[in-house]
């Protein structure tokens, strides 16, 4: 990579929080952010997968810690933000890669599974971004990225829901 690209994409001194960081897109994003110089905190429910992600990043020379957490309940998010901010400070970057994709026939979908899907794929990313915006604004730098695991309609709703926090950071 050219020195121009390294400088352009350098994240040294930045902290990234990646939900769903134990596997898939989340692990890939966490690894890429660490390679760009960010200190990374990965979060998900499965501690073993998170430990593997952190170890993989460490073997590549990156800084990574993990927080095992169930992010499905919005009222738990403030405590989660505190925990995620302990290793390296408050995040500058948020990647929402946690998501559920319950594949059920329409006549088998329950209110519980519907609420779980909306909670993780829509509610959590919005309220997590909302909880992080004050610290990002105070630092004068911050960004949010969403990678929902849902249908195109869900993608539209994620863009729509996370626009207010992004707009606040750009002012």
How do residues 141-166 score in pLDDT, each as one tens digit? 665 554 444 344 454 455 555 555 55
Q: Which of 5-9, 89-93, 147-151 has the highest mean pLDDT?
A: 89-93
CA–CA separation, 70 vs 120, rounded Å?
Answer: 9
1 assigned to some structural domain: no
44 assigned to some structural domain: yes
Q: What's the confidence (pLDDT) of residue 149?
A: 40
Q: What's the confidence (pLDDT) of residue 152?
A: 42
Both tokens assigned to 6? 């390294």
The domain that contains 41 carries what CATH number?
Answer: 3.40.50.720
Answer with the residue of higher pLDDT: 103 or 34: 34
Q: What's the confidence (pLDDT) of residue 5?
A: 58
Binning pLDDT at 50, 70 and 90, where does residue 31 land?
Answer: very high
Q: What's the confidence (pLDDT) of residue 119?
A: 84
Q: Which CA distances in Å does 90 have to 10, 102, 127, 139?
A: 18, 32, 16, 9
Enclosing domain of residue 29: 12-170
> Taking the model in full, what pTM does it have?
0.81
Q: What's the confidence (pLDDT) of residue 4?
A: 64
Q: Which of 89-93, 96-100, 137-141, 158-162 has the lowest mean pLDDT?
A: 158-162
List the beta strands (DSSP E) in the chain: 15-19, 39-44, 63-68, 93-96, 143-146
Q: At residue 96, what are phi and psi to the nearest 5 degrees?
A: -90, 90
Contact 75, 127 (CB under 8 A): no
> Please, what is the end-to-end C-alpha distance for the chain in angstroms?
32
Contact 22, 44 (CB under 8 A): yes
Domain count, the chain: 1
**pLDDT of 168 over the 70 cut:** no
Both tokens assigned to 142? 């911050």
3 assigned to some structural domain: no
């Amino acid at each position: 990579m050219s020195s121009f690209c390294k400088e352009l994409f350098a994240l040294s001194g930045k902290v990234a929080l990646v939900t769903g960081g134990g596997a898939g897109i989340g692990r890939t994003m966490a690894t890429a952010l660490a390679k760009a110089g960010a200190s990374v905190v990965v979060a998900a429910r499965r501690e073993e997968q998170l430990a593997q992600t952190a170890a993989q990043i460490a073997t590549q020379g990156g800084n990574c810690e993990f927080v095992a957490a169930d992010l499905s309940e919005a009222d738990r998010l403030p405590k989660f933000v505190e925990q995620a901010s302990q290793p390296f400070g408050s995040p500058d970057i948020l990647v929402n890669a946690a998501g559920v994709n319950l594949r059920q026939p329409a006549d088998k979908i329950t209110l519980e599974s519907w609420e779980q899907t909306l909670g993780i794929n829509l509610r959590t990313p919005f309220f997590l971004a909302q909880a992080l915006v004050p610290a990002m604004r105070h630092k004068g730098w911050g960004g949010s990225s969403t990678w929902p695991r849902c249908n195109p309609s869900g993608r539209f709703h994620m863009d729509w829901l996370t626009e207010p926090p992004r707009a606040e950071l750009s002012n």
